[in-house]
Structure 1
């Protein structure tokens, strides 16, 4: 089994790519300056964003559903593993923005970094850029790099962090565009999700596996949970978790009318380990307890 190549600091990654370290917690890396190297699995102890040309190269993100051919952004959260082992060499290309969690601690970006859901997308859910979008991304990278090339002063980190935040906000806009331009793909995802959700409740899976989760369906659809959730929300206005709960309540209402079963039996059939949890969820969703709903109807 090929060992994963891990980079704990930005300086380590700079050295690996023949780059000078301008700041210990952030950097813009020109990957074309790196030496040719073998394909292998890598992990980074910091946030890493690759701006790659569309080639099925070292990141192994496949060539599916590409909207544009000018470039691709791949987002990696700290300690995420990427790549594959091959006994052959390649020349890295493109640029990378890397920044450590310590850079943004206590800042507005640090408080909302987890809101950028695309850091939890799988690599095959990358952001594919138009030519104009690529120019905007490069401009953001250039502004960050410009600040790092200056003598570090009291304004440096604030300006760098502000430009990283601007870049990430542009990425939210561009992902929204990608969801729209891939409407047919997203509708297919929604249809398959609905079918799987219906099947889950029609079979005995609730009793065996318990309450359904977004991660369960994402795994069946070969998507990350965050990407599935965002796809569903773009199409329906509701998150995947909300869709699951609405289906759960709908099925619960039907089964409550079966007076041969107690409310506790219905709860267990639906996948609840404790009937009181079912009672609380049902009342929160409908304004009535399951017993009240059964008696009133």
Structure 2
């Protein structure tokens, strides 16, 4: 995975809220002990807002941290910075993903509304409620923002057994923006059918987001940036695609349940199995066609 060194990054698409420590007023408690952490992991490893699963502490979304841990505007101006610095890489990925979906919507005669990514540490307040880093990356449809603690990518390797790497990170970000595309299309709400398990709306929504991440991957190196006319992402290798597939498998419900519970219970799945997640990412990547991502059919 390599970015165009001369790419002109748009840092307005990412807000750095790491410096404020998330929220004032003490630590947020979401669940209790190891069982609570496992419940969070099983329910929301990069999914949708915690309020939809009853995982918030009722915190005030207006109490989000506003200070910055680093000046992204100064540090993340070019693709060269994205090739060497983690937070700048997220800026570049977000730029590339939104460049693609902006163009895809325009070609379909539709309007794409941008969604910002918020970088946070430990805990964060959102319009979907307050969440800790334990829930993993997520998209909040109420404020149309993606929330991400960069430490999650270390957890993806150490706790979930993924090989990791920059394109595993790109897959996670693209999956979250898949939820944003679903929200704009009015299909994200189908996750809330009150069911769990292999045929639930929640699983179908998550698998569709995986497929949409694959669609972006197919087009990433040919999608021009509006400001330079050149793609932000210059190269995606076969090894990068394998890293994305490996990450998708690592966060399959069956893999997570086996790792943390020692048994697999398909009736409680919310995201799909490792095989399903890999298969739907592959459908998107192979076809490059969002219309082929109908996991509800």
The alignment's TM-score, normalised by the length of structure 2, stands at 0.29
Greater Rg over alpha carbons, structure: 1
**Higher normalized strand content (fraction of residues):** 1
Higher RCO (Cα < 8 Å, 6 or more apart): 2
The alignment's TM-score, normalised by the length of structure 1, stands at 0.29
